[in-house]
Amino acid sequence: MGAVVICPLTISSLTLGEAPFRERIRAAASAGFQAVGLSVEAYLEARRGGLDDDAMHAVLAEHGITLGEVEFLSDWAPGTGREIPSAKERTAFHIARTFGVDHINVGLFEPTPVEVMADGFTALCERAGALRIALEYMPFGAVPDLPTAWELVRRSGRPNAGLVLDVWHWVRGATCAEDLAPVPPGRIFTVQLCDVGPDPLADMRQESLHLRLVPGSRTRAAQDLLALLARHGVRTGISAEVMSDALLAQGPEATACAVFAGTRAVLSGRTDVCAE
């Protein structure tokens, strides 16, 4: 306990809301994060604002920070009438390859039969080539729980297929240690930390996107999940994902500082989960 955190910490794209690229990088770096997540939408907005890839590389280098993850793909399942692969998918792959990103986070919202999801997820992983695809389950989504998410990863048979474990979804989805048991430790590609409020909303998606709390600020959910993952043999990257309207109202720098302080405090006793 009390050890120095040795893993690079990523602040997720959604934690900083719609902050422009330069501002989000500056806020993340000044708070102490070593990496930032970037959504396809935030990347395209930066391009529209006049930043090409070289300029974005320069901003990252100026602040000594890297891109840690790309998100969020939710248009990969067939049968929705969308183009597959979508333009968003191609852009996500471009970002990951151009900036050396470790993984791309994906999920699915529309109700979809498991067989269709399995085929679509396998095809997505095949199109990704060497890029790692991290599937996130959400209790309000088409992949509602960890057993379903692991089944899709297992069926894919692809070495680049893995999982996102998110504290909010873990708690609100009533996930338990038994759900984790069949998942090989190496298939956990990233862990997203936050805390949860005392009273679940009927609209879980609304709560997830707007009312998350700083890790460790109310419960031990983040610490307990990290302890469980350590016992399971997981060593992986850590991302702070705290979508909070209340925090964002204070600005990106204040948001990043508050989230970093809480995340660092939670991780200070759990370095054995972090991938160096």
| pLDDT tens-digit readout, 196-208 | 998 889 999 999 9
What would the mean pLDDT of 88-95 be, rounded to a whole number?
A: 98
pLDDT computed for residue 274 by the predictor: 65
pTM above 0.75, yes or no: yes
124 contacts 161 by C-beta, under 8 angstroms: no
Separation CA 222–CA 91 (nearest Å): 32
Question: CA-to-CA distance for 220 and 211, rounded, in angstroms?
Answer: 17
Four-way CATH pick for 9-268: 3.20.20.150, 3.90.209.20, 3.40.1410.10, 3.40.50.2300:
3.20.20.150
* pLDDT tens figures, 106-140: 999 999 999 999 999 999 999 999 999 999 999 99
Cα–Cα distance measured from residue 159 to residue 2, given in angstroms and rounded to the nearest whole number: 35
* pLDDT in the model for residue 7: 66
pLDDT band at 78 (very low <50, low <70, confident <90, very high): confident
pLDDT at residue 273, as a whole number: 67
The predicted model gives 87-98 an average pLDDT of: 97
pLDDT, tens digit, for every residue of 151-196?
Answer: 999 999 999 999 999 999 999 999 999 999 999 999 999 999 999 9
∠ CA 36-38-40 to the nearest 5 degrees? Answer: 175
* Cα–Cα dist 115/136, whole Å: 17
Provide, rounded to the nearest whole percent, the portion of the chain with pLDDT above 70: 94
How large is the average pLDDT for residues 233-238? Answer: 93
Give percent of the chain above pLDDT 90: 89
